[in-house]
Amino acid sequence: MMHESPIKRRPSRRLYVGNVPIGDGAPIAVQSMTNTETTDVDATVAQIEALASAGADIVRVSVPTMDAAEAFREIKQRSSVPLVTDIHFDYRIALKVAEYGADCLRINPGNIGKEDRIRAVVDAAREKNIPIRIGVNGGSLEKDIQEKYGEPTAEALVESAMRHVDILDRLDFHDFKVSVKASDVFLAVESYRLLAKKIDQPLHLGITEAGGKRSGSVKSAVGLGMLLAEGIGDTLRVSLAADPVEEIKVGFDILKSLRIRSRGINFIACPSCSRQEFDVIDTVNQLEQRLEDITTPMDVSVIGCVVNGPGEALVSKVGLAGAKNKSGLYIDGQRQKQRLDNSNLVDELEAQIRAQVKAAEANKIDVKEING
């Protein structure tokens, strides 16, 4: 039973990446980036679709060469989700992918050369209603800013971002979002806090180069969680040295934990102890794998004993309280006459969860038909 989040979002402008709204209270979009060779069209499309199946709202694709830009043309035609093109330095690539239907240009205006080149890219974006993402990274600040501050600081990142913002402002282009990423949690958080006070455009959140699956997930959850809890952030990417699909899963887990946005099953599970009447850890791990296809938000509690089981079941759609041989089943907080056999718990609990998901989806359709 998802409760409404108490978080008050930072006011921001609305823009669209394809058909995905960003900012101005729109659901926080979760995105990732492909790591295939962009010129390998089939592999890149396959990864985009895997990310989409995991729930990605937006996918970013690196386009470092003109050959990659030509490949992007077919990739875009075959993609089921909006695509952000990642471009550095060469304005001609930006013009080409804009022609081929890019939904957003990730390009720093100050890095693509003279004013006429910047204007050409901005004019193309304006003509085709394509937003721009300014992306500042603590590891690649301009040389003069590095010399001025000596090391990456929040003020340094924000000064770099504002240089690019000022260029777009001068060209009267306002459909952009900004990121100020760093691998250090405190540096990234303070940078976003400062930037949030300076502009009203949407902010794209990320702790860059966060690390491997476990450590990177923890760093991202801490950093992004701090910002999101303050209402800062309109779209996010969890950067992991892992399968990009994991980035989407962790992103939704972060949003789910803050009650900002929910997708799929939210498992409430005990860490297990000597009171457990069944193997809680194995049961939850199997259920998570089996139920990955479910997108309907639903709370499921799996507790190994009757000490906390009934209480957690009160706030879950489906609840399980461990008991000897057969465990107690709860639906909407109500104890059911049926008990689940501990020897076949995963199969029986999966069936119960899927039945509730099916009922929830049917009810959603009925309400939609009633409301026209």
Annotated binding-site residue numbers: 270, 273, 305, 312
Calpha distance 107→174 (Å, rounded): 14
Helix, strand and coil content of the chain, in percent to the nearest 5, comes to 45, 20, 35
Long-range CB contacts for residues 64-69, cutoff 8 Å, separation at least 24: 64/38, 64/88, 64/93, 65/39, 65/93, 66/92, 66/93, 66/96, 67/39, 68/38, 68/39, 68/93, 69/93, 69/96, 69/97, 69/100
Residues making up the chain, counted from first to last:
372
End-to-end CA gap in the chain: 26
Nearest to 283, CA basis, from 229, 230, 342, 228: 342
Calpha distance 150→144 (Å, rounded): 10
How many C-beta atoms lie closer than 10 Å to residue 262's C-beta? 18
3-state SS, residue 181: strand
Q: Which residues contact 182 (CB under 8 A, 6 or more apart)?
A: 137, 138, 139, 152, 157, 188, 191, 207, 208
Binding positions for [4Fe-4S] cluster: 270, 273, 305, 312
Judge whether 334 and 306 are in contact, CB under 8 Å: no
